[in-house]
Amino acid sequence: QRLDFIHHSHLPAETRDGYRVKIKANIELLDEIPTVIEYGAEGIGLFRTEFLYLASRSLPSEDTLYRAYREVAERLAPYPVTIRTLDIGGDKFVSTVSLGDEINPALGLRATRLCLKEPKLFRTQLRAILRASVHGDVRILFPMISGHMEILAVKEHLEATREELRREGVPFRDDLPVGIMIEVPTAVTMADVLAREVDFFSIGTNDLIQYALAIDRVNEHVAHLYEPLHPGVLRLIRQATEAAHQAGIEVAMCGEMAGEATYVPVLLGMGLDELSMNALAIPRVKRMIRLSDQEACRRLAGDLLAASTAREVRERLADFLDQHY
């Protein structure tokens, strides 16, 4: 049965009516690459890069980072690898970077904010990513972007880093696609503006749900209130997707929600172009996609977006799953 499943995961992720979705994997460690390939991912949609900062006592050198990114890019080629810049802080701590005491780390010095405050840390990683970009199809993804000024600041650092490499005669890909995580509610409400600045969006539902519902993603006391199918969450996903498509860019989803097979009809219906997940979830998700009809999913999504409560969404989705699968 396992073989059957794996076989399935190498079939195209296409609905009955011909809607093609990209299915990619999320990784943290290079050890995960064989599984990613075995389970039929069409690339890495989210490479979380914190691990190299965890692994050593001192900050990793540019060369250490470069070698790791290059290896991932080469092993995945010709498939794309989306490397996310440091997302330290919040629920992710590393011993080599001290953030000071924070009462509210999820709202504190985190991810891109930290990188903008520590330009050397940021630039070292940017140099490594740019250098690795000539060894495969590398893309760069910035986490926790909350508005226009942050994108501009990040892009300035990227441009200055390119300039530096150019001066040194170090090769890199000039057309490296640049994307942002959509995981802060204001990134959704400003999505039309942000979409003009980047090549793609990747919706991070783990944080987007946390910030939208004000539910700590790691607090067990409120875990029962953490609700991906809240109609308010669905509306945010919809708004970000529409803004991206209107601007002519693609939208991925790389939060846990993307790997939940029963949510596939909802996500297809909202028009996501790519789903990135733990590789082990790929066979189930692909199977659901291949059983789906995008037109029907689109009607379902419209229906769910009009619901008043998460409970109503769940009931309508359960009916739809009973009828169609």
Residues at the interface with ligand PEP (CB under 6 A): 46, 48, 87, 183, 204-207, 254-255
Contact between 228 and 314 under an 8 Å Cβ cutoff? The reply is no
The encoded tokens of residue 225 equal: 């209130």
Q: Which residues of 14-35 are buried (b: 16+ CB within 10 A; e: fewer)?
A: ebeeebebbbbbbbeeeebbee
For residue 84, say whether it is annotated as part of any ligand binding site: yes
Sequence-ordered list of residues with C-beta below 8 angstroms from that of 92, at least 6 positions apart, any chain: 50
Question: From the CB of 87, what's the least distance to Mg ion, in Å?
Answer: 6
Using the 8-state DSSP alphabet, how is residue 252 labeled?
E
Instruction: Choose between 87 and 150: whose C-beta lies nearer to ligand PEP.
Output: 87
For residue 183, say whether it is annotated as part of any ligand binding site: yes
Q: Contact positions toward Mg ion, by CB under 5 A? A: 183, 204, 207
Instruction: Choose between 19 and 90: whose C-beta lies nearer to ligand PEP.
Output: 90
Phi-psi region of 25 (alpha: psi -120 to 50; beta: other; left: phi over 0): beta
Question: From the CB of 199, what's the least distance to Mg ion, in Å?
Answer: 19
Instruction: Choose between 60 and 204: whose C-beta lies nearer to ligand PEP.
Output: 204
Tell me the residue type at 40. G
Contact between 282 and 260 under an 8 Å Cβ cutoff? The reply is no
The encoded tokens of residue 20 equal: 């093609």
Q: Which residue is nearest to Mg ion (CB)?
A: 207
Please name the residue that has the structure tokens 């998700």.
285
The residue from 25, 46, 190, 254 that is catalytic is 254
Question: From the CB of 143, what's the least distance to Mg ion, in Å?
Answer: 6
User: Which class for 124: exposed (0-12), middle (13-18), buried (19 or more C-beta within 10 A)?
Assistant: buried
Q: How far is CA 296 from the centre of its chain?
A: 26
48's contact among Mg ion, ligand PEP, none, with CB below 5 to 8 A by partner kind, is ligand PEP
Question: From the CB of 167, what's the least distance to ligand PEP, in Å?
Answer: 34
Question: Can 297 be counted among the known catalytic residues?
Answer: no
For residue 207, say whether it is annotated as part of any ligand binding site: yes
150's contact among ligand PEP, Mg ion, none, with CB below 5 to 8 A by partner kind, is none
Angle, helices 231-246/310-324, rounded to nearest 10 degrees: 70
Instruction: Choose between 237 and 296: whose C-beta lies nearer to ligand PEP.
Output: 237
Tell me the residue type at 269. G
Question: From the CB of 206, what's the least distance to Mg ion, in Å?
Answer: 5
The encoded tokens of residue 233 equal: 């969450």
CA pair distance 218, 195, nearest whole angstrom: 30
Instruction: Choose between 97 and 134: whose C-beta lies nearer to ligand PEP.
Output: 97
Residue 294 half-sphere exposure toward CB, CA atoms < 13 A: 14
**Residues of each annotated binding site for phosphoenolpyruvate:** 48, 84, 206-207, 217
**Residues of each annotated binding site for Mg(2+):** 183, 207
So which residues are the catalytic ones? 254
